[in-house]
Amino acid sequence: MHRVPLIMVVTSDLAGQVRGKGFPASERDERLLKGVGYTFTNHMINCWGQIPATPWGPLGDLVLMPDAATAVEVDFGDGSMAERFMLGDLFRMDGAPWDCCLRHYLRSALRELESETGLQLIAAFEHEFHDGGLEKREGDSYSLDKVRRGGDFPGAVLHALQAAGAEPETFLPEFGRSQFEFTVKPAPAMVAADRAIIAREMVRAAARRLGRDVSFSPQVDPAGPGNGVHIHMSFQDREGRPVSHDPTQPSNLSGVMGSFVAGILKRLPAMVAVTAPSAASYQRLKPHSWSSAYNNLGWRDREAAIRICPGPETPGADVASAFNVEFRAGDAAASPWLQLGILVRAGLEGIREGLATPQPVSSDPDAMSDSERRRYGVERLPVSLGEALDRLERASDAGTLLPGEFLEAYIMHKRGELEAVSGLTPEEICRRYGDVY
Ligand code: GLU
Ligand code: MG
Residue 330: pLDDT band with limits 50, 70, 90: very high
Q: What does the pLDDT average to over 99-124?
A: 97
Residue from 99, 107, 73, 257 nearest 191 by CA: 107
The C-alpha atoms of residue 226 and residue 425 are separated, in whole angstroms, by: 17
Q: Is 433 within 8 Å of 333 (Cβ atoms)?
A: yes
- The length of the chain, given as a count of residues: 437
The secondary element (H helix, E strand) that includes residue 24 is strand 18-24
> pLDDT per residue over 20-35, tens digit each?
999 999 999 999 999 9
Dist. CA 302 → ligand 1 center (Å): 8
Q: Fill in the amino acid letter for 366.
A: D
Atom from ligand 1 closest to the CA of residue 328: 10
Does 298 contact ligand 1 (Cβ within 6 A)? no
Atom from ligand 1 closest to the CA of residue 218: 4
Residue from 84, 70, 73 nearest 195 by CA: 70
% of the chain residues with pLDDT over 70: 100
Atom from ligand 1 closest to the CA of residue 292: 10
> pLDDT per residue over 163-175, tens digit each?
999 999 999 999 9
Dist. CA 326 → ligand 2 center (Å): 12
> pLDDT per residue over 83-92, tens digit each?
999 999 999 9
What was the pLDDT predicted at 312? 84
Given a cut of 90, whether residue 356 has pLDDT beyond it is yes
Q: Is 26 within 8 Å of 2 (Cβ atoms)?
A: no
Burial of 230 (0-12, 13-18, 19+ CB in 10 A): buried
What was the pLDDT predicted at 137? 84
> pLDDT per residue over 305-320, tens digit each?
999 998 888 888 899 9
> pLDDT per residue over 190-203, tens digit each?
999 999 999 999 99
Dist. CA 181 → ligand 2 center (Å): 6
- When the pLDDT of each residue in the chain is averaged and rounded to a whole number, the result is 96
SS3 call for 119:
coil
Burial 299-331 (b: 16+ CB within 10 A, else e): eebebbbbbbbeeeeeeeeeebbebbbbbbbbb
DSSP per-residue codes, 222-274: TTS----EEEEEEEE-TTS-B-SB-TTSTT-B-HHHHHHHHHHHHHHHHHHHH
Atom from ligand 1 closest to the CA of residue 225: 1
Q: Fill in the amino acid letter for 273.
A: A
Q: What does the pLDDT average to over 172-195?
A: 97
What was the pLDDT predicted at 135? 82
Q: Using alpha carbons, list the distances in angstroms from residue 348 to 19, 65, 71, 358.
A: 30, 28, 31, 15
Does 284 contact ligand 1 (Cβ within 6 A)? yes
Residue from 299, 301, 76 nearest 202 by CA: 76
What was the pLDDT predicted at 282? 98
List, as ranges, residues with CB under 5 A of the ion ligand 2: 181
> pLDDT per residue over 404-422, tens digit each?
889 999 999 999 999 999 9
Does 290 contact ligand 1 (Cβ within 6 A)? yes
> pLDDT per residue over 32-65, tens digit each?
999 999 999 999 999 999 999 999 999 999 999 9
Does 225 contact ligand 1 (Cβ within 6 A)? yes
% of the chain residues with pLDDT over 90: 94
> pLDDT per residue over 365-397, tens digit each?
999 999 999 999 999 999 999 999 999 999 999
**H helical segments located in 276-425:** 281-284, 319-322, 336-353, 370-376, 385-394, 398-401, 406-421
Q: What does the pLDDT average to over 107-132?
A: 97
The C-alpha atoms of residue 165 and residue 197 are separated, in whole angstroms, by: 12
Q: What does the pLDDT average to over 177-190?
A: 97
Which ligand is in closest contact with the Cα of 309? 1
Q: How many CB atoms lie within 10 A of CB 21?
A: 16
Given a cut of 90, whether residue 138 has pLDDT beyond it is no
Q: Which residue, by CA, sits nearest to atom 6 of ligand 1?
A: 290
DSSP class of 92: E
What was the pLDDT predicted at 2? 93
What was the pLDDT predicted at 76? 98
Q: What does the pLDDT average to over 294-309?
A: 95
Q: How far apart are the first and last CA of the chain?
A: 31
Given a cut of 90, whether residue 250 has pLDDT beyond it is no
Does 142 contact ligand 1 (Cβ within 6 A)? no
> pLDDT per residue over 230-247, tens digit each?
999 999 999 999 999 999
Given a cut of 90, whether residue 134 has pLDDT beyond it is no
Atom from ligand 1 closest to the CA of residue 227: 4
